[in-house]
Amino acid sequence: MTKLQVFGYKNHEESYFEFCSGINCITGPNGSGKTNILDAVYYLGNARSFFNAIDQQVVKHGSPAFSVHGWFSGETDAEILIHFNPEKGKKTIKKNGKTYPRILDHIGLIQTVFITPYDISLVLEGSEERRRFLDFTLCQTNREYLEALAFYKKIQEQRNAYLKKCERTGIDEDILDSFDARLIPAAKKIHHCRMDFVKEFLPWFHEIHSYLSDKKDMVSLQYESELNDNDYANLLRQNREKDRILMRTGSGIHKDDLLFFANDFPLKKFGSQGQIKTYVIALKLAQYRYYVEKTGHIPILLLDDIFEKIDARRADKLMELVAQEKFGQILITDTHAGRVKDHLETVGGEKRYFEIGE
Ligand SMILES: Nc1ncnc2c1ncn2[C@@H]1O[C@H](COP(=O)(O)OP(=O)(O)OP(=O)(O)O)[C@@H](O)[C@H]1O
Ligand SMILES: [Mg+2]
């Protein structure tokens, strides 16, 4: 991305940046709008904010609309303009001046990997967060997975609705059989893709983590699924009575989880804040690597408040790592301009510094 211009985006009335192709550092005090700039870049790629599911919340208070305008060169040579008008509830996306017929057609053109302080919820929150991580990564890179997942969710919802209905009318085993017959192949496909993903992803994760931590922490990650050592058809049969009583589908890939360990102990219970942060940074950088390997595209790396909680040694290693050629353009935010400059001092490549707010 060579240039970015935003109007009415969160706290930004109007902001304009000319980025270099290497490392771009945006510094400024708390609340000056650093994270919002990274979010605007994420918006250009995903047609939604990383933080706000509702577009109305993105419009600057008192502003009639927002727009994000990005100019890209190299692999993706395009000018993207996204405009949202809350009054009309209308979002338009233009590529080189031409409006896309469907917003969905834009997704995938500009890939971003966003590393934020909120990533620690991957470790601290429930399994849903970790399934979202799996699904997000796989959906971006595997069309069949995306379709199988959408189908599974639809059939599972229909099955649950039927189980609820049956409380009054009594169950028809044949109808449940037909739901199961559709659920099983989709679940097997998803399970298979998740297994393959973890197998491929793990060596990259280990490599990045051991580099960042100087091999001080031995980390591991396990894919947990009922389908790992059970046939899903058997599981559904065994659980049918329970499903009927609870009126929902109790077994399946919607219960899967990723288990995180550091030095053989569960990370959530025994990891320090810095260890947790290092773990999630390595997870996200391995996700970056996965995108590159699978799609051949180099995502824009968005590093928000990256130096918080990790020690100076790890921060230096991180900068050395992302400055390597296999990484593309990077945007970094920090509250301390001096700190970023220090960490980047020994790192080669093009760099540009932006100070925002007062
Ligand atoms: N729709 C909106 N309209 C106006 N202001 C908004 C809107 N949404 C968010 N903001 C404000 O934008 C400000 C800047 O937020 P941002 O998270 O980008 O700051 P930051 O520079 O990253 O700060 P920190 O150093 O604390 O991370 C916040 O004060 C927030 O309240
Ligand atoms: Mg911030």
Both tokens of 81, joined, read 């303009």
Residue 28 beta carbon below 6 angstroms from any ligand 1 atom: yes
| 89, pLDDT greater than 90 | no
| Burial label, 285 (beta-carbon count in 10 A; 0-12, 13-18, 19+) | buried
Of all residues in the chain, the percent with pLDDT exceeding 70 is: 100
Q: Where are the beta strands (DSSP E) in the chain?
A: 3-9, 12-18, 23-27, 66-72, 78-85, 90-95, 98-99, 112-115, 219-224, 257-262, 265-266, 300-303, 330-334, 351-355
Give how far the C-alpha of residue 92 lies from the chain's centroid of Cα atoms, to the nearest Å. 23
**Ligand 1 neighbourhood includes 191 CB (under 6 angstroms):** no
**Better pLDDT: 166 or 100:** 100
51 C-alpha to center of ligand 2: Å?
12
Mean pLDDT across the chain, nearest whole number? 94
CB atoms inside a 10 Å sphere around CB 246: 12
Q: Residue 355 C-alpha to ligand 2 middle, in angstroms?
A: 14
- Ligand 1 contact, 299 CB (< 6 A): no
* Ligand 1 proximity of 30 Cβ (cutoff 6 Å): yes
Q: What is the mean pLDDT of residues 22-39?
A: 96
* Interval 181-218: pLDDT, tens: 999 999 999 999 999 999 999 999 999 999 999 888 89
Lookup: tokens for 222:
């396990």
pLDDT in tens, 140-179: 889 899 999 999 999 999 999 999 998 778 889 999 999 9
Domains of the chain listed by start with CATH number: 3-111+297-355 (3.40.50.300), 124-267 (1.20.1050.90)
User: 3, 331 in Cβ contact below 8 A?
Assistant: no
Q: What is the pLDDT of residue 331?
A: 97
Cβ of 10 below 6 Å from ligand 1: yes
Task: Write down the pLDDT at residue 156.
Answer: 97
Torsions phi, psi of 113, nearest 5? -120, 120
> Residue 358 above 70 pLDDT?
no
Q: Is the CB of 335 under 6 A from ligand 1?
A: yes
Between the CA of 212 and the centroid of ligand 2 the distance, in Å, is 23
pLDDT attached to residue 130: 97
Q: How far is the CA of 304 from the centre of ligand 2 (A)?
A: 6
Closest-approaching ligand to the CA atom of 51: 1
Would you say the CB of residue 35 lies under 6 angstroms from ligand 1? yes
Closest CA to 71 of 95, 47, 92: 95
CB 149 within 8 A of CB 190: yes
Pick from 85-89, 138-142, 248-252 the range whose average pLDDT is largest: 248-252
Between 61 and 88, the higher pLDDT residue: 61
- Return the top range by mean pLDDT from 17-21, 104-108, 317-321: 17-21
Mean pLDDT of 269-285: 94
Give the Cα-Cα-Cα angle 339, 316, 289 (nearest 5 degrees). Answer: 120
Residue bearing the CA closest to ligand 1, atom 11 = 11
Name the pTM for this structure.
0.92
33 lines ligand 1 (CB under 6 A): yes
pLDDT at position 92, please? 95
The string of pLDDT tens digits covering residues 295-331 is: 998 999 999 998 888 888 899 999 999 988 788 999 9
For ligand 1, what atom is nearest to the CA of residue 52?
Answer: 8
Give the integer Cα–Cα distance in Å for 55 and 82: 12
Confidence (pLDDT) at 329: 95
In 10 A of CB 268, how many CB atoms?
Answer: 16
Residue of the CA atom closest to atom 17 of ligand 1: 35
3-state secondary structure of 8: strand
pLDDT higher than 70, residue 17: yes
